[in-house]
Structure 1
Amino acid sequence: MRMVHQWHNLKQLGHGGRAHNLAGVNTTAKGELAVLCPACLQPGKNLLPDWEQEPLSIKLKQKVVSSDAADPSLNAGWAYFVEEHRYNTCISHNVVNMVDIKSSCGLAATGIGTIDCARHDMKLPNGVGDLQKGEQYINMDYIVCLALFIFTMSMINISYDIVCQWHKRLWTWMETMPEYLCPPHESSLICFFVPKFHIQAHVYKCHTNFSFNWLRYGWSNINRVASSTKEMGPGTWRDTLDDHFSDWNWKKITALGA
């Protein structure tokens, strides 16, 4: 298992082009090992220099079987999972917080939240984080805002099954977060939508305010990994899921030609 864990990490370093970095792999920046979506707009890569002038839930559970000290992550925020130390500090998640919750008893995480490019079905760098006691707003606040830093677009559409409630005080809550979690949202038009599958269970007001029907142009595949990862320590758990996310993105990239 240790060899497999190391192999996952080495493969991602190779895909990220880190093998020939003279400064060493420890200089890898946060999110640098994530395989980026080639179809999404990226300044300096697939946008013209003057582009600004142009008009424009996953069911996984992890048991408390180890600790970060005994089973540290090798990626440490380099790919899809957020950097655990900073994440812990911001949302204060630990087993003590959930000892009285029957469904969460003995679990270090009750699942994961992920931020995806919905148009191209690609995981975003630093867009994955553990969930505790269900899907709390603060968890999603953190990973959404961290993932938004890879974008420099003037318009972003965010789709989330409970966005009608979640978005209301999003930016007010972010004012209490560390500076590195506050993306420059004032310069972007950010719109919120409820996915069509979920909106059927919402009230009529949501249908009129958050439906994709009003938008112009408008991942369950990872669930099967749950049974083979739930007994893993926290570091191996995050790195194994990172490997699956990377494999998913990598195969989409390399299959584009065909």
Structure 2
Amino acid sequence: MVIVDSTGIHSLPVVFCGCQNASRWDIQLLDLGLFPGSVRDPQTAFTFQVLDDFALNNLVCKTAILSFHTKLKRMTNMAFPSEVPDHYLPLLGVTQQWQNLRYRKWAGVLYGHDQPLCPRALALFCPACPQPGINIPMNWKEEPREWLYMRSFVMDGCFRPEHLKMTNPWDDISLEDGSQYMVALGPHKDHLQIVIDHKPKSTCHNHKAVSQANADRHDLDATGIGATVCARDGCFAPHSAVNFQKGERYDPLHAFDCSWLMSAILMTLGMLCLIMVLYDVMCQYHVNLKKRISESHHLASAWPSGITMQKGTGLFHVHGHQNSCTPRFSLDYIVGASMIDGEIVETTWRPLDKIAGCTRTMTTSHREETLNDHMGYWNFMKCVNMTSSICRKLKAACLGVESSHEAFEELDGRIDDELRKVWIEQEQEVYARRLEDPSAMDIFNVSSPKGTLFSMA
């Protein structure tokens, strides 16, 4: 039998137990820490060590499986690696199974045809996001500051992880469709069949997300991916990533909406009713959002009643918009946004960019599983480093609150009481109208005639 190990590819004699009550050959191999290349009459086996070694190399060093297999051949015969028999295809199939079984073990999900995977079943969720019954007080509904338990998400797209069309798409089997971070392919494709293709006309500046809306590549099955992350800590939201079919146009983002709503709202069992969603071109995206949702049964069924959604744009991108977009969508004007900058999603694309060259030619299911694996590793490392990160942010916030309070008290002391009362009433009025009419926030867009000089008395 051929045994593939971290030390190389070896051909060794193997004698199986032939007793009457002996287990099947594949079970005997698994008991010895060897993963069989096939269930029936296995002729190749891979040690658990080599499978763990590749998983770590792929996640940390972004090593492609072909490069890893080439290294094993060099380790087997340094002088003549071409003389070593090729076992790339068996290694490719086994690593996919190993990855799926590893996630099932961590999530406590059984394996079998009678145990279908539920959406998000194998995904890690951000432990710092408000979760009733887990990390917030039992009487959280009595808190008058509703924004204290508001969940915040950032949506964005990346165009590096392209995917070529498969020659034989019917010859493809998915092991974890929709169970982690990428949405289920079936409902996504069904949704795209009913959406109306249109060219969005921007009413703001010519942003990249809108100008690339009609970027089309006939040889590509996906022109990129879009994902949703938690705005505070940058963890990928489960079942929240979709393939872009034609640039970052609005239509694929409809399924994008469905994904983050399913993960952000249904996961909380409808208990949390306030969320904040940030997007680079929210000024364009929000206009017909309710109409587009009502036109698709896939989205309408995923949108529960009683949900309040705050809409905003990251602090870096909002200043590239028109002046009117700043008070309407800037985080500086959203109650409860706190220290969020809305740009943390940009950091999540770095590890995915490094594997874009490998995933471009993979099968659809293998690409989905690889992206899920790297998103899950990103979330895992976020969880590991979250304690030190939160402590560091807490110290900075305490210092910031003290200095901001002193500056506010000094400025507030200079304002007339009647004028302060009028301003407070105006503020309450515009914030009450903001959700339905963002233009109400234009009252904060103070402008002065050209040539006017201000002096501080």
Partner of 1:245: 375
Find the partner of 1:165 among 276, 284, 297.
284
Per-residue CA deviations over 1:61-108 (Å, capped at 9, x if unaligned) read 111134542122211111111110111000139xxxxxxx88513000
Residue among 295, 306, 316 paired with 1:187: 306
Q: In the alignment, which residue of structure 2 is the partner of 1:10?
A: 101
2:237 matched residue in structure 1: 124
Change (3 A) 1:198 1:25: farther
Match of 1:204 among 296, 308, 323: 323
Q: Residues 34 and 79 of structure 1 are in contact (CA less than 8 Å); yes or no, is this contact kept in structure 2?
A: yes
Secondary structure (helix, strand or coil) at the match of 2:236 reads strand
Over the residues paired in the alignment, what is the CA RMSD in angstroms?
2.4
The answer for unaligned runs of 5 or more in structure 1 is: 94-100
Structure 1 pair 224–194 and aligned structure 2 pair: CA distance change class (3 A): same
For the pair 1:53 / 2:142, whether they are aligned, the reply is yes
SS in 1 for 2:233: coil
| TM-aligned CA deviation for residue 226 of structure 1 | 0.6
Rounded to whole Å, the distance in 1 between the matches of 2:116 and 2:192 is 26
CA-CA distance at 1:169 after TM superposition: 1.2
8 Å CA contact retained: 1:161, 1:199? yes
- Which digits, 9 at most, give the CA deviation of each residue in 1:8-59, with x for residues without a partner? 21222122222xx488783331111110110001123223333222232222
Q: State how far apart, in whole Å, the 2-side matches of 1:199 and 1:24 are.
A: 48
User: Higher relative CO (CA 8 A, sep ≥ 6), structure 1 or 2?
Assistant: 1
**Equivalent pair of 1:67/1:233 in contact (CA under 8 Å):** no
SS in 1 for 2:241: strand
State the match for 1:113 in structure 2.
Answer: 226
Unaligned runs of 5+ residues in structure 2 are 1-91, 147-156, 195-213, 266-270, 340-347, 389-457
Q: 1:220 aligns with which of 338, 346, 349?
A: 349
Match of 1:77 among 171, 175, 178: 178
Structure-1 separation of matches of 2:222 and 2:244: 6
TM-score, normalised on structure 2?
0.51
Task: Report the residue type matching 1:253 in the other structure.
Answer: C
**Across the two proteins, how many residue pairs are aligned to each other?**
249
For normalisation by structure 1, the TM-score amounts to: 0.87
**Contact 2:233–2:382 (Cα < 8 Å) also in 1:** no
- Write the distance in 1 (CA, Å) between the matches of 2:332 and 2:237: 25
Check 1:257–1:201 CA distance in 2 against 1; reply closer, same or farther (3 A cut). closer
Whether the 8 Å contact between 1:115 and 1:144 is mirrored in structure 2 is no
Percent of residue pairs bearing the same amino acid type = 25
Compute the displacement of 1:192 (Å). 1.0
